[in-house]
Amino acid sequence: MEKASDFLDKKNIIAVVGASANPEKWGFKIFNELKSRGFSVFPVNPKHSKIGNYACYADLSSLAKKPDVVITVVPPKVTEIIVRECKKLQIDRIWMQPGSESEVAIAFCEKNSIKIVANTCFILDNLNK
């Protein structure tokens, strides 16, 4: 596992996979918090075309810029698909929100030299310090 601080650099372009238009969901809270703190962040969710005033992308390959960090806020089986997409796109840092991680996804990342943070909430454990 990596240090969270390596993922929190404001120079990083961040994609939130599982971003949501529902203010009650963590995918919305994380995206919104990152935006409000000045991060360059893109929402990714095939169910939405927009989140607030921002275009939402169907998948990582649709983004205008390749992200440095991907945050997953999706079920573990979806994270397993996302980590393979990250490898294909040469994205080497993934933050798996609590509940989105799986042993399969973690093992895949370790085998493919993808840096990960798991079992840590991006907002509660890091941004609120």
Mean pLDDT split into 10-residue runs, the chain, 129 residues: 70 95 93 92 95 94 94 96 96 94 96 92 63
Nearest Cα neighbor of 46 from 98, 81, 97 is: 81
DSSP 21: S
Residue 38: domain span: 4-127
Q: Taking the model in full, what pTM does it have? A: 0.92
Instruction: Give the total number of structural domains in the chain.
Output: 1
Nearest Cα neighbor of 81 from 14, 22, 6, 17 is: 17
8 Å CB contact between 50 and 56: yes
Tell me the CATH number at 71: 3.40.50.720
pLDDT value of position 89 = 96
pLDDT value of position 129 = 46
pLDDT value of position 51 = 93
Return the amino acid letter for 107. A
